[in-house]
Structure 1
């Protein structure tokens, strides 16, 4: 993700990642609960409502937090950024990931509380072969999109582009495109439309990391950095 020209201090970047990821999970979980209540017994309509809210909310959050932390909001994006050449110290990566995961859990609790829903572990089982393949595809596509924009000078488009991609991936992937370990962990803590059981979460996390690796490989093949000229 594009980095600001005048980097904010580390504590402010960590706060942005915590708040941004937390609000993202709040959007995902909260809109899922609202969809269940507004459109009971119509899973297709519920998914449409959930996907539209998530796509729009994610676009807005990226626009808010991109100037502060780069708006990673996703451990896969943070790790891919480092792999693809960002000068992120190991300590910064650790702080980002911890902030993202903590934010994800907090966002689920916030959504549950707003809708007077208890914060309990999800019982929704999702880990099938098809779902895991869907997570590989969704995460690889997300990483490819973000760094294709960054390496071609179009990072300003990340908000609407990433929002549109996730909104579409809700529908074209079997897993409904979690594509984010922090969001996956957060969604363990809600037994609602968006929830995922702990036993399914671990395979999802593994599939997301595989997808991130595939995405990094595609970026290096399709958008290689120019070689430095030797003096």
Structure 2
């Protein structure tokens, strides 16, 4: 359990550092081109996720995401007592990653984000983004193809940066972490509840949909 919690904390920290740090770098490198900033941010996140899942997957499953842990617990693959330990590690890890990212670019360690993202299209985007992420992860897990998760998750998130208006947060922990950086990847604290609610709604939709699409024998769900 200690190894798994350390993996979730460090992995979440590095994920937040990748997402936020690449956003800050994109602002510095391409100050007058938001499209190019998004491309740089998305590319760094996609390849970063690929690497992080390869590193931490064998230790903790490389969730880095309370919604992923929640669905895993509902399916019986993650004990609930572990779920309630994973989530704080993920949230604290993402918050720490935001501080690290800010500091690496010589900004204040904590700067509360001011980017308002709370609209109905953004909320819908978060439902779609999170649902897609859960389908990618658990369709592979339930068909014995989990070894392809690193590439698939990286590819999906990289694409979802572009096809969703919210730029695909798809993760309550990273949503909270992003409130601590007033930068390209930031989200105002007032917008975070709508995003987190949408992400949880996606989990509610994903569980029955996955059971319908990828049924497994009862003994496989324990």
TM range (shorter): over 0.9
- The residue aligned with 2:54 is 63
The number of equivalent residue pairs is 218
- The residue aligned with 1:96 is 86
Trace 1:1-12 onto structure 2 (pairs within 5 A).
10-12=1-3
Q: Is the 8 A contact 1:76 1:181 kept in 2?
A: yes
Bigger mean CA deviation after superposition, 200-209 or 79-88? 79-88
Q: Is the 8 A contact 2:69 2:78 kept in 1?
A: no
- The residue aligned with 1:5 is none
User: Are residue 186 (structure 1) and residue 201 (structure 2) matched?
Assistant: no
Q: Report the TM-score, using the length of structure 2 for normalisation.
A: 0.96
CA distance in structure 2 between the aligned counterparts of 1:87 and 1:80, rounded to whole angstroms: 9
User: Are residue 140 (structure 1) and residue 131 (structure 2) matched?
Assistant: yes
Bigger mean CA deviation after superposition, 202-211 or 219-228? 219-228
Q: Is the 8 A contact 1:112 1:190 kept in 2?
A: yes
Gaps of 5+ in 1: 1-9
Instruction: Report how far residue 227 of structure 1 moved.
Output: 4.4
User: Are residue 208 (structure 1) and residue 199 (structure 2) matched?
Assistant: yes
Decide which of 40, 65, 79 is 1:49's aligned counterpart.
40
Instruction: Report how far residue 91 of structure 1 moved.
Output: 2.3
CA distance in structure 2 between the aligned counterparts of 1:81 and 1:222, rounded to whole angstroms: 16
- The residue aligned with 1:221 is 212
Gaps of 5+ in 2: none
CA distance in structure 2 between the aligned counterparts of 1:106 and 1:25, rounded to whole angstroms: 8
Instruction: Report how far residue 218 of structure 1 moved.
Output: 1.5
- The residue aligned with 1:6 is none
CA distance in structure 1 between the aligned counterparts of 2:176 and 2:149, rounded to whole angstroms: 24
Extract structure 1 runs of 4+ deviating beyond 6 A. Answer: none
Aligned-residue RMSD, C-alpha: 0.9
Instruction: Report how far residue 85 of structure 1 moved.
Output: 2.2
CA distance in structure 2 between the aligned counterparts of 1:106 and 1:226, rounded to whole angstroms: 40
